[in-house]
Amino acid sequence: MGLDSTTATGSTTGGAAPGLREAKKRETRQLISDRATVLFIEQGFERTTIAEIADAARVAKKTVTNYFPYKEDLAFDHQEEFVGALARTVAARAPGETALAALRRTFLAAVAAQDPVAGFAGFEFTRMIADSATLTTCLRGLHDQREHRLAAALAEATGAPADAITPRTAAALLGGVHRVLFDRIMALTLAGRTNPEIAAVLHDEAERAFALLAPALDAYAPA
């Protein structure tokens, strides 16, 4: 059961250790997200209200909006992880490893792990996104943000100005491949393929997709 706004500000919680308070906040946030996802899948994103989500999680409406300022945030609960993933991969690449090599390696590992953030979200969740004009628009925006974050990381990695054309173009190419592969995972999911089947297909397709970028980016931005 989640904490409502009264409990969250009451004397018992207020006197708890900081670690306990943070754990309760995480639990409440996850509960709200889980209940929202169930309702979105059952009723559709547009038809589900914040009031219904609050009732399902047994919290106040204000508690929902405190944790999730926008309704879309409830559907894309891991959007920061998604948006920052490519930039983090570039920043953490191994000595001598190029941006392309690091991103290819990391994507193939995500495919092998059938990572939901890479697109392996299951049929019901994927259908929920595909059926919602709001969520499909939001997803395009998250891809755009991810590309912009990657461009900034590439500029920093190569010592280029933030608005330089080379890191922006490289980010567009690398982000574009990731976007195409993400869409491919969604399409195969909606076609009824299982995650292991999709992973087998995507491994080979990802290798071919990244290979197309090798002539331009194989030596770009080594660590």
* Spatial separation of the C-alpha atoms in residues 153 and 174, rounded to whole Å: 12
Band (pLDDT 50/70/90 cuts) for residue 106 is very high
Burial bucket for residue 50 (CB in 10 Å: 0-12, 13-18, 19+): middle
For residue 72, what are its two tokens?
């879309």
Q: Which H helix or E strand runs over 198?
A: helix 195-211
Q: What is the pLDDT of residues 32-89, one digit of tens each?
A: 999 999 999 999 999 999 999 999 999 999 999 999 999 999 999 889 999 999 999 9
Q: In the prediction, which pLDDT does 12 show?
A: 41
Comparing CA positions, the residue from 51, 44, 54 lying closest to residue 75 is 44
Task: Tell me the CA end-to-end span of the chain in Å, nearest whole number.
Answer: 47
For residue 56, what are its two tokens?
């399902």
**Equal fold, 5-70 vs 79-217:** no
- The mean pLDDT value for 8-27 works out to 67
- The mean pLDDT value for 202-211 works out to 98
| CATH of 5-70 given 3.90.550.10, 1.10.10.60, 1.20.810.10, 3.40.140.10 | 1.10.10.60
Residues making up the chain, counted from first to last: 223
Q: In the prediction, which pLDDT does 15 show?
A: 55
What is the full DSSP assignment across 6-34? HHHTSHHHHTS-HHHHHHHHHHHHHHHHH
Residue-range domain boundaries for the chain: 5-70, 79-217
Domain 79-217 listed as CATH 1.10.357: yes
Residue 33 C-beta-side C-alpha neighbours within 13 Å: 18
* Spatial separation of the C-alpha atoms in residues 3 and 24, rounded to whole Å: 8
* Spatial separation of the C-alpha atoms in residues 146 and 141, rounded to whole Å: 9
pTM for the structure as a whole: 0.86
